[in-house]
Amino acid sequence: MVVEKLMQYRELGKTGLKLSSLSFGASSLGGVFADIVESEGIRTVQVAVDHGINLLDVSPYYGLTKAETVLGKALKNIPRDKYILSTKVGRYGSDFKDFDFSAGRVTRSVDESLARLNVDHIDIILCHDIEFGDLAQIINQTLPALRKLQQTGKVKYVGISGLPIKPLKYVVEQAPVDVVLSYCHYELNDTALLDLLPTLEKKGVGIINASPLGMGLLSTRPLPSWHPAPTKLREAAAKAAELCAHRGTPIEKLAVQFAVANPQITTTLVGTADPNIMLQNIATVDEPMDEQLLMEVSEILRPVHNMTWVSGHAENN
């Protein structure tokens, strides 16, 4: 209960929603990073909500619908007014052929997600990883289709997500968007998201930050084999993690504290299917950040600052 009292809440653009500064990323429930025990995953969701986290973010892509299915089981035991639910449309696999942003497909996708999640409405619906799509189609077909669903009450707010900053900025400037979810661009080694914030603030668009650990890059665990980070970035991150471990502060802790500390970032998603790790993340937010350690880690990461990788179509990077 003490943690819940200390949780900060920030407004999400012009939506009127107030989100906890730390939110729950449910990709972990799909076994994206490691195999999970379903009952533990369900308990993790309950623990998060019980301790003041109110945004739960998922996608049909995570675990190929598994994450939505497991989250749906967890939500059966949680009052609907206790959480804000975000899911996505357009991405259903890892290959280009698995993306479909057509009006018909995204409309069906929302109904499929509603069924898996056991809810009658979704608070935030996001076009998933728009850099893999045709931006003209997303502006002229996908977003208008989601706005029609907004009129039915099935979704409340409409947004976009992706890795490269360029297409996010382009779409926000061309079409009405309520929310942007950006990942791997506001973390210890990468603050490129800051370049997008003035545009979002001018337009009144809310911002959700995801992957403060760089999809496992800023971690003491071995990096997943699929991780797209270039070698130089991997090596620098490993060196930074080693320094943190030597100082007795896991780099994961510093990374979460760094992301949440910026009041311009409404919320930061963290994912785990372990209730104990969830509690650790929540407690971390209220602890003072080691500024000296942050300075030394930043110095190690300076040569690779904002180094990223190509995602989606080349012209969108």
| pLDDT tens, position by position, 193-233 | 999 999 999 999 999 999 999 999 999 888 888 899 999 99
Q: Is residue 175's pLDDT more than 60?
A: yes
pLDDT in tens, 68-119: 999 999 999 999 999 999 999 999 999 999 999 999 999 999 999 999 999 9
pLDDT in tens, 122-158: 999 999 999 999 999 999 999 999 999 999 999 999 9
Within 10 Å of residue 93's Cβ, how many Cβ atoms? Answer: 12
Please tell me the least confidently modeled range out of 31-35, 146-150, 267-271, 284-288: 31-35
Residue 62 annotated as catalytic: yes
Q: Is residue 1's pLDDT more than 70?
A: no
Nearest to 209 by CA among 313, 30, 55: 55
Query: Which residue shows structure tokens 């110095």?
Result: 299
Looking only at the bridges linking them, the beta strands covering 9-11 and 18-20 are: antiparallel
Residue 71: both structure tokens together: 């989250």
Measured distance CA(20)–CA(76) in Å, rounded? 21
Average confidence (pLDDT) over 168-181: 98
2 pLDDT band (50/70/90 cuts)? very low
Q: Determine contact, residues 259/212, Cβ cutoff 8 Å.
A: yes
Query: Which residue shows structure tokens 């039915």?
Result: 152
Within 10 Å of residue 117's Cβ, how many Cβ atoms? Answer: 24
Looking only at the bridges linking them, the beta strands covering 22-25 and 206-210 are: unpaired
Q: Is residue 234's pLDDT more than 80?
A: yes
The helix (run of H) or strand (run of E) holding residue 125 is: strand 122-127
Measured distance CA(21)–CA(268) in Å, rounded? 6
Average confidence (pLDDT) over 262-282: 95
Confidence (pLDDT) at 67: 97
For the chain, give the number of residues: 317
Measured distance CA(276)–CA(297) in Å, rounded? 26
Q: What is the mean pLDDT of the chain?
A: 95
3-class state of residue 56 by DSSP: strand
35 pLDDT band (50/70/90 cuts)? confident
Residue 97: both structure tokens together: 């052929």
pTM greater than 0.85 (yes/no):
yes
3-class state of residue 113 by DSSP: helix
Confidence (pLDDT) at 7: 87
In the chain, alpha helices (H): 2-6, 38-50, 66-75, 103-117, 135-137, 143-152, 165-174, 197-203, 231-247, 251-261, 275-286, 291-301
Measured distance CA(236)–CA(297) in Å, rounded? 10
In 16-160, alpha helices (H): 38-50, 66-75, 103-117, 135-137, 143-152
Residue 96: both structure tokens together: 């280009």
Average confidence (pLDDT) over 280-308: 96
Q: Is residue 34's pLDDT more than 90?
A: no
Q: Please pick, among 9, 61, 62, 83, the residue that the annotation labels catalytic.
A: 62
Distance from the first to the final alpha carbon of the chain: 44
Confidence (pLDDT) at 232: 98
Give the start-to-end residue ranges of the domains of the chain. 2-311
Residue 40: both structure tokens together: 């533990």
Provide, rounded to the nearest whole percent, the portion of the chain with pLDDT above 70: 97
Any residues with CB less than 8 A from the CB of 197 and at least 6 apart, and which? Answer: 207, 264
31 pLDDT band (50/70/90 cuts)? confident
Confidence (pLDDT) at 226: 86
3-class state of residue 10 by DSSP: strand
- The domain 2-311 belongs to what CATH superfamily? NADP-dependent oxidoreductase domain (3.20.20.100)
Q: Is residue 3's pLDDT more than 70?
A: no
Q: Sign of torsion, CA 160 208 231 167?
A: positive
Any residues with CB less than 8 A from the CB of 316 and at least 6 apart, and which? Answer: 130, 131, 135, 164, 166, 167
